With several copies, the nearest count.
Chain A
Amino acid sequence: MSLSVDIAHTFGDFSLQVTFQAEGGITALFGRSGAGKTSVINAVAGLLRPDQGRITLSGETLFDGDTQTFLPSAKRRLGYVFQDARLFPHLSVRDNLTFGSRYAPPTAPGPSLEDVLSLLGLRDLLDRAPGRLSGGEKQRVALGRALLSKPRMLLMDEPLASLDAPRKQEILPYLERLRDGPLGLPILYVSHAVDEVARLADTLVLLGNGRVQAQGPLYEVMADPAAVPLLGVREAGAVIEAEVIQHAADGLSRLRISGGDLLLPGVQADPGARVRLRVLAQDVMLSVKRPDGLSAVNILPVKIETVHQGEGPGAAIALRAGQDRLLARVTRRAVAELQLAPGMGCFAIIKATSVAPGSIGR
């Protein structure tokens, strides 16, 4: 299933001109407040009719400005989780949740009410009116409502912004399962939170000021030192794939990446499975000689590819470990003292605990 968006629209002073492709999986729209993320997602949902352009989903034209094609929202079968929850105030939580189920083709696959209730912790709220829910509870109901309409694709506009970290940690794996399960449910996901994006997204579209600033597969965009300022210094970091080798008794697991083995805690996948690791640039230290007596247990030999000096006191360093790319953020002083330069070999020290379970996916 592939979504292709190529639209232009103007609101007063603001002009939106966005072209991107999403080939299944999760596509993240990332950008600052007012960048145009909600507008794009509205156009895909059929709530905004762009001035011109074309939107297609798996070959079906949802909108075409040239031929005046505009498929109404109700026929698009896209589950939209709104930035504001937009629950139906006159319906109970239960009726909100099941609102859309009768319009889906009976054979369409999708989660059951039971699944959604346990995932989102809504069981005790079923008979509650939306006016009596807390902010986060509303958002959860909105998410459940969209899931239960058995959509062909999910559109999520900051669905987790008002949720606490533990709840997010429950929902994120579920979204991954939706993406990876038999449904292969594609998701268009708007978020400000880089860690969510890094964990979930297959494709990353960086929006700024109504324009696409960068787009491409997550691994590429995230490991590109030039994207660091767009993502935020503290949030930049490479995403790499690893194979689970074995679990040890103390909870650490051995994972293999092309450049060597890593010991990480909290890995749920079975041995043999492939998982996604996010390694924050700031969690990677560099050492010119192999250190010992350190609590960090992950030490990889790497080669420096580029040294990208930003405007501040830090530098982003692209590293190659086997076939994988890593990103390290160190001070300029360290660059000078250790004489770090492209082509140089050194050791990357990755704290075992700094790859949190939350950023391990797939």
Chain B
Amino acid sequence: MSIDAAAWDALRLSLWVACFATLIAVPLALWIAWLLARRDFPGKATLNALVHLPLVLPPVVTGYLLLVAFGRNAPLGRALDSLGLTLAFHWSGAVLAAIIMSFPLMVRAMRLAIEAVDPKLEEAAATLGAPGWAVFGRVTLPLIQPGILAGAVMGFAKAMGEFGATITFVANIPGQTQTLPSAIWAALQIPGGEGQAIAMVLMACAVAVGAVALSEALARRVARRISGA
């Protein structure tokens, strides 16, 4: 296998993992963000701290905890395994790691957006007969689109860049669990690997530029729609 092919594989896997992670994490993060912004319940402070934890802990620790929880020999891992969902040493594990690591970023952005929604508009929707979920879906959700978008692009970028937790949890198997950051790291581990590393860093930059540009274009459309300008 030529080096270049491996780099492309890593890029493809990273994109796949990041897209998948973003897709799963967005609704989940939205729900948590909504809970944190709008509900009071026991354990709210704990949940809030928990969401931030992956930011505070070194990623290796997060990866290690994942390994302990979802390893093939761990009860949880075994249970999921028997359901056909293998996480450890599988790209789906990389997705899980990416979700966890990007979660705090997503939740924060979305929560900020939810808190900025004028409750008077939600009240107006309620007086028009809209039940709670419809108020959320037809008023809150469209109004927080910029926040969702910001969260999604940060989460996607983080998922693209996640390394420590991923390599610890799912290792660095080319074509299977080797994401772009793992490949870059591995390239940096051998003498003369900088050339390869630079090529892959440029790939990552290109993805970042693309994702950011796309999100900006979407954000402009959303903003135009919301401000009605």
Residues of A within 8 A of B (CB): 45-47, 72-74, 76-80, 82, 84, 86, 88-91, 99-100, 103-104, 128-132, 145-146, 149
B139 to chain A, nearest CB (A): 6
> Is residue B39 within 8 Å, beta carbon to beta carbon, of the partner chain?
no
User: Given the known A-B contacts A86-B121, A130-B228, are A79 and B127 also in contact in the complex, defined by CB atoms under 8 Å?
Assistant: yes
User: Chain A residue with minimal CB distance to B132?
Assistant: A74
Give the complex CA separation of A90 and B132 in angstroms. Answer: 18
B125 near A88 with CB under 8 A, answer: yes
Residues of B within 8 A of A100 (CB): 128-130
Question: How many residues on chain B are close to A (CB under 8 Å)?
Answer: 23
Give the complex CA separation of A269 and B226 in angstroms. Answer: 46
User: Chain B residue with minimal CB distance to A95?
Assistant: B138
Residues of B within 8 A of A73 (CB): 123, 126-127
A131 near B126 with CB under 8 A, answer: no
User: Chain A residue with minimal CB distance to B143?
Assistant: A90
B228 near A149 with CB under 8 A, answer: no
Q: Which of B127, B227, B229 contacts A78 (CB 8 A)?
A: B127
B128 near A103 with CB under 8 A, answer: yes
Q: Which of B123, B138, B139 contacts A47 (CB 8 A)?
A: B123
> Is residue B75 within 8 Å, beta carbon to beta carbon, of the partner chain?
no
Give the complex CA separation of A128 and B228 in angstroms. Answer: 8
Hey, what's the 0/1 contact readout for B98-126 against A, CB within 8 Å counting as 1? 00000000000000000000001101111
A103 near B134 with CB under 8 A, answer: yes
Residues of B within 8 A of A46 (CB): 126-127
Give the complex CA separation of A206 and B126 in angstroms. Answer: 29
User: Given the known A-B contacts A74-B130, A103-B134, are A88 and B124 also in contact in the complex, defined by CB atoms under 8 Å?
Assistant: yes
Known: A74-B130, A100-B129, A149-B129. 12 other contacts (CB 8 A): A47-B127, A73-B126, A80-B124, A88-B121, A88-B124, A88-B125, A90-B225, A90-B226, A99-B130, A103-B134, A129-B225, A131-B227
Hey, what's the 0/1 contact readout for B196-229 against A, CB within 8 Å counting as 1? 0000000000000000000000000000011111
Residues of B within 8 A of A86 (CB): 120-121, 123-124
> Taking each of A88, A131, A132, which has the highest tally of chain B beta carbons within 10 Å of its own beta carbon?
A88
Give the complex CA separation of A129 and B229 in angstroms. Answer: 8
User: Chain B residue with minimal CB distance to A84?
Assistant: B120
Residues of A within 8 A of B174 (CB): none
B128 near A99 with CB under 8 A, answer: yes
User: Given the known A-B contacts A74-B126, A74-B129, A88-B125, are A99 and B138 also in contact in the complex, defined by CB atoms under 8 Å?
Assistant: yes
B228 near A129 with CB under 8 A, answer: yes
Give the complex CA separation of A91 and B226 in angstroms. Answer: 8
Give the complex CA separation of A292 and B208 in angstroms. Answer: 92
What are 24 A-B contacts with C-beta separation under 8 Å? A46-B127, A47-B127, A73-B123, A73-B127, A74-B127, A74-B129, A74-B135, A79-B127, A79-B128, A80-B124, A86-B121, A86-B124, A88-B121, A88-B125, A90-B142, A90-B226, A91-B142, A99-B125, A99-B138, A100-B130, A103-B128, A103-B134, A131-B228, A149-B129
User: Chain A residue with minimal CB distance to B222?
Assistant: A90
Give the complex CA separation of A77 and B226 in angstroms. Answer: 27
User: Given the known A-B contacts A74-B132, A88-B121, are A45 and B127 also in contact in the complex, defined by CB atoms under 8 Å?
Assistant: yes
Q: Which of A84, A129, A130, A145 contacts B128 (CB 8 A)?
A: A145
> Taking each of B127, B132, B228, which has the highest tally of chain A beta carbons within 10 Å of its own beta carbon?
B127
Q: Which B126-152 residues have C-beta < 8 A from chain A? A: 126-132, 134-135, 138-139, 142-143
Residues of B within 8 A of A (CB): 120-121, 123-132, 134-135, 138-139, 142-143, 225-229
Q: Which 10 A-B pairs have the closest CB atoms?
A: A129-B228, A100-B128, A131-B228, A103-B129, A73-B126, A80-B127, A86-B124, A90-B142, A74-B126, A149-B128
Give the complex CA separation of A100 and B130 in angstroms. Answer: 7
Residues of A within 8 A of B120 (CB): 82, 84, 86
A11 to chain B, nearest CB (A): 11
A89 near B127 with CB under 8 A, answer: no
Residues of A within 8 A of B123 (CB): 47, 73, 86
Give the complex CA separation of A104 and B74 in angstroms. Answer: 51
> Taking each of B126, B128, B129, B226, which has the highest tally of chain A beta carbons within 10 Å of its own beta carbon?
B128
Give the complex CA separation of A239 and B229 in angstroms. Answer: 43
Give the complex CA separation of A100 and B121 in angstroms. Answer: 13
B75 to chain A, nearest CB (A): 41
A55 to chain B, nearest CB (A): 15
Give the complex CA separation of A82 and B120 in angstroms. Answer: 10
User: Given the known A-B contacts A73-B123, A132-B228, are A103 and B131 also in contact in the complex, defined by CB atoms under 8 Å?
Assistant: yes
B124 near A89 with CB under 8 A, answer: no
B228 near A146 with CB under 8 A, answer: no
A62 to chain B, nearest CB (A): 13
Give the complex CA separation of A89 and B143 in angstroms. Answer: 8
Give the complex CA separation of A80 and B123 in angstroms. Answer: 10
User: Chain B residue with minimal CB distance to A148?
Assistant: B128
A224 to chain B, nearest CB (A): 34
Give the complex CA separation of A29 and B209 in angstroms. Answer: 51
Give the complex CA separation of A103 and B139 in angstroms. Answer: 15
B133 to chain A, nearest CB (A): 10
Residues of A within 8 A of B127 (CB): 45-47, 73-74, 76, 78-80, 146, 149
